[in-house]
């Protein structure tokens, strides 16, 4: 099974960019890019903030809830 980066998928579904998310969080766009490429991961507090900004449940950033 191919590993997917949920943050990257959710941003695409919401028609938002990593640069936009970085601005919302007050983070460097490079940091968000690393999250989207699985080079690094946000801490839980940041993950919670991302979920709130995107209007989704934090669980949606951890695993896909869609039946595939």
Ordered by where they begin, the domains of the chain are: 6-62 (1.10.260.40)
DSSP per-residue string spanning 14-32: TT--HHHHHHHHT--HHHH
**pLDDT over threshold 50, residue 60:** yes
pLDDT band at 1 (very low <50, low <70, confident <90, very high): very low
- Over residues 36-57, the pLDDT tens digits come to 998 999 999 999 999 999 999 9
pLDDT band at 35 (very low <50, low <70, confident <90, very high): very high
pTM across the whole model: 0.85
Dihedral of the alpha carbons of 61, 9, 49, 32, in degrees to the nearest 10? 120
Measured CA to CA, the distance from residue 67 to residue 33 in angstroms comes to 27
Measured CA to CA, the distance from residue 61 to residue 34 in angstroms comes to 15
Measured CA to CA, the distance from residue 32 to residue 26 in angstroms comes to 10
**Residue 6 DSSP label:** H
């Amino acid at each position: 099974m191919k590993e997917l980066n949920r943050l990257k998928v959710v941003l695409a579904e919401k028609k938002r960019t990593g640069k936009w998310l970085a601005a919302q969080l007050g983070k460097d766009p490079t940091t968000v890019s690393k999250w989207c490429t699985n080079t690094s991961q946000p801490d839980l507090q940041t993950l919670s903030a991302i979920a709130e900004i995107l209007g989704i449940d934090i669980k949606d950033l951890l695993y896909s809830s869609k039946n595939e």
